[in-house]
Homo-oligomer: A and B are copies of this chain.
Amino acid sequence: MPAFHAHVEVTHLPGIADPAGATVERALPALGYKNVAQVHIGKTIRLVVDAPDAESAREQVQEMCERLLANPVIEAYQVVIS
C-alpha cells in the first residue's frame, strides 16, 4: 500500500480561550514588537499513513483526529494529505 504524508493542524475553536496565545501576545510588546495582534497557538501533527488511496488516508486521519489527536469539543482540525 502506498504511504501518504498527513499534516494536521489543530487549533482552538472560535470563542475557546487560548491562554498560550494570550501570553505570547502580552510578551511580544515587552520585547519591542508592538505591531503584533491576533496571536493563536495550536498543535501540528505530521505522520505517515499507509492507505490504498489519498481519500482513504484522509478519512482515516480525520477519524484519528476525532478519536485521539484533537478534542472536537474545543478544537478544530485541518488535514492535508500529500
Residues of A within 8 A of B (CB): 1, 3, 9, 11, 21, 24-25, 27-28, 31, 33, 35-51, 60, 64, 67-69
Selected from B11, B27, B42, B67, the residue in CB contact (under 8 A) with A68 is B27
Q: How far is B43's CA from A43's CA once the two chains are assembled, in angstroms?
A: 5
Q: What number of copies of this chain does the assembly contain? A: 2
Question: Once the chains bind, are A50 and B38 in contact (CB under 8 Å)?
Answer: no
Selected from B1, B43, B67, the residue in CB contact (under 8 A) with A42 is B43
Question: Once the chains bind, are B48 and A9 in contact (CB under 8 Å)?
Answer: no
Q: Which residue of B lies closest to A21 (CB)?
A: B45
Q: Which residue of B lies closest to A30 (CB)?
A: B68
Question: Which residues of the partner chain B approach A31 to less than 8 Å between Cβ atoms?
Answer: 64, 67-68
